[in-house]
Structure 1
């Protein structure tokens, strides 16, 4: 089987970096001033980028965006350096015909077969997915969502206009079947009655909930078949519906990024990702900064123009209480679906896994240049010595 620069494959790489507490700077009256301070605080890391890349980081108005952009660049250089066996200084990030980031080696005009990567960031977390060692052309996409990043704004709209209206605000990027599913498909809730199940009327009552701070009567069927009526607050129902919405957004964005098309792609409303259940966070998490792995969800019904997509594999993982990460891979015809195996998302040790590798590679470049210079000097001295000898003989 073909490999990528000697690395046995095929293999999926899944990395992430949490920038939320990295590069702290004093709070400033103007957010842009925080970015100016960041330029000094992150000088070591910025020096690992090209001038154009540094400019793309420092043009941001908000510090959080500058930090995630910096790490996005560094992760792309890292994946190229590690798995294409090129020095950091040669790990040039290019763009393909669809403007997706890619690697094109010196002297080539196309990407290497069997190697692809994609990066996403949201609310301070940066994720990279890569495919290495595959035969043929491969496409990958990744997305990160944070359920509570806009929670106040989301709640304000939902409380005033209802959940259905809030969903319809995003109607341009979802298929009609997905919008209907997000509005009316039942969500999992804690019934607080051991052995009881929702009746048809109970599922319908939960499906129609549109606002928080209300109470509804839910019909249950007890473990012995008896009818039970349970009074429920609607807040956890709305929260579950919001989480499912962001799960569906995450899956769709990963697919769209895999394809290389933007959210304005003409086929966007013909893509359907159904039967989505959002992955649950790991129970008992108390640390708000935690990104502990939670539930992994793998089974989705994905259709394009009404036809089942059989060459795409997708996975979504709950990370901490509020984050979800999704990876999507289009499997080359040279491979079986079983060749694509997702793993766990690996949090990189930024000092050891990123900076040390970059700086070691750059130090190696300097050493090689010094050896070339020393050799040139030696050859020059040798030539000069030969010339002096010839003149003496004459």
Structure 2
């Protein structure tokens, strides 16, 4: 996996992606059942429930990406990696069977590993971080498109999601002068919100209207893989003691956001969260993670074993 090292104590982040076309090559139908054997029984069952073959392929690619990454970073055999899911369905590393002293998602050298996957449209992406403090990470990818309802206009489509945006976010979306621009702005906001929800691990328990993002930098769809780190997150006053900005919103300092276009039609966002309760806030925004596009099955199966 492509990994960017950011001098200690900065986190080491990586972002990798597989397209549906590549996933078809990774998991062609004739070998799909064989590749299922590289996953845990509960993972096989979950993937088998997908109705669309493309979704199953992308989900398969995501699980293989997770296991390949962890095997490489933990330097353990494939069958020693045990994955679980939180009640909110977020995957995590249960622990290393050979060493009960290693807590979940932590290497033997004390470096914490967190990871998250997302798939939509033509892409599956994996975001991961290695850091000396407790961190979590969330990633979301979306295809920039209208709904599947024939003849529906961009304005009608976006209006369906107006209740999920704050007034300032809605104004930002509507300020774009062309349909494509409005869709790009909406999906950027949506990915940012979902990446935060996935990072904090609360799933459907968060009302997206209680999160407000202020996007300050443009993101060029013609330059895939280029990242920006400018989004600001505001949370309306809650019980937490965050610094307050000039309009009364509280600004959590323990989150770093990165945005990407993976190609002209897919955007993604990554949220890196630190354990603020322990005073472990992130350093100054680091150099964005390098995005790596995975093209061959050999990259993911170099150390694979049947489970």
Q: TM-score range by the shorter chain?
A: 0.7 to 0.9
- Residue 159 (structure 2) aligned to one of 160, 164, 168: 168
Measured in 1, the distance between the counterparts of 2:153 and 2:209 equals 24
Q: Which of structure 1's runs of 4+ aligned residues deviate more than 6 A?
A: none
Residue-by-residue CA offset, 1:266-291 (whole Å, 9 max, x unaligned):
44321100235551222xxxxxxxxx
- Residue 138 (structure 1) aligned to one of 130, 135, 139: 135
Give the conservation status (yes or no) of the 8 Å contact 1:279–1:317: yes
Give the conservation status (yes or no) of the 8 Å contact 2:229–2:285: no
- Residue 111 (structure 1) aligned to one of 99, 104, 109: 104
Measured in 2, the distance between the counterparts of 1:335 and 1:21 equals 37
Matches within 5 A, 1:285-324: 293=224, 295-305=226-236, 306-324=249-267
Q: From the superposition, tell whether residues 21 and 56 of structure 1 become closer, same or farther in structure 2 (CA, over 3 Å).
A: same
Residue-by-residue CA offset, 1:289-309 (whole Å, 9 max, x unaligned):
xxx625432212210111122
Give the conservation status (yes or no) of the 8 Å contact 1:14–1:128: yes
**What is aligned with 2:301?**
355
Measured in 1, the distance between the counterparts of 2:45 and 2:271 equals 30
Q: From the superposition, tell whether residues 329 and 336 of structure 1 become closer, same or farther in structure 2 (CA, over 3 Å).
A: closer
Matches within 5 A, 1:145-184: 145-148=142-145, 150=146, 153=149, 156-158=151-153, 163=155, 165-183=156-174
**What is aligned with 1:55?**
45
Deviation, 1:130, is 0.7
Measured in 2, the distance between the counterparts of 1:86 and 1:245 equals 41
Measured in 1, the distance between the counterparts of 2:200 and 2:250 equals 17
With structure 2 as the length reference, what TM-score do the two structures score? 0.79
Q: From the superposition, tell whether residues 82 and 307 of structure 1 become closer, same or farther in structure 2 (CA, over 3 Å).
A: same
Deviation, 1:238, is 1.2
Q: Which has the higher helix share?
A: 1
Deviation, 1:112, is 3.6
SS in 1 for 2:138: strand
Give the conservation status (yes or no) of the 8 Å contact 1:296–1:316: yes
- Residue 283 (structure 2) aligned to one of 331, 334, 337: 337
With structure 1 as the length reference, what TM-score do the two structures score? 0.63
Task: Tell me: higher relative CO, structure 1 or 2? Use CA pairs within 8 A at least 6 residues apart.
Answer: 2
Could you tell me which runs of 5 or more consecutive residues in structure 2 were left unpaired when the two chains were aligned: 1-7, 107-111, 237-248
Q: From the superposition, tell whether residues 112 and 63 of structure 1 become closer, same or farther in structure 2 (CA, over 3 Å).
A: closer
Give the conservation status (yes or no) of the 8 Å contact 1:244–1:278: no
Could you tell me which runs of 5 or more consecutive residues in structure 1 were left unpaired when the two chains were aligned: 1-6, 25-34, 188-205, 207-236, 283-291, 366-394
Q: From the superposition, tell whether residues 60 and 294 of structure 1 become closer, same or farther in structure 2 (CA, over 3 Å).
A: closer
SS in 2 for 1:42: helix
Deviation, 1:95, is 2.2
Greater radius of gyration (CA): 1
Give the conservation status (yes or no) of the 8 Å contact 2:61–2:124: yes
**What is aligned with 2:243?**
none
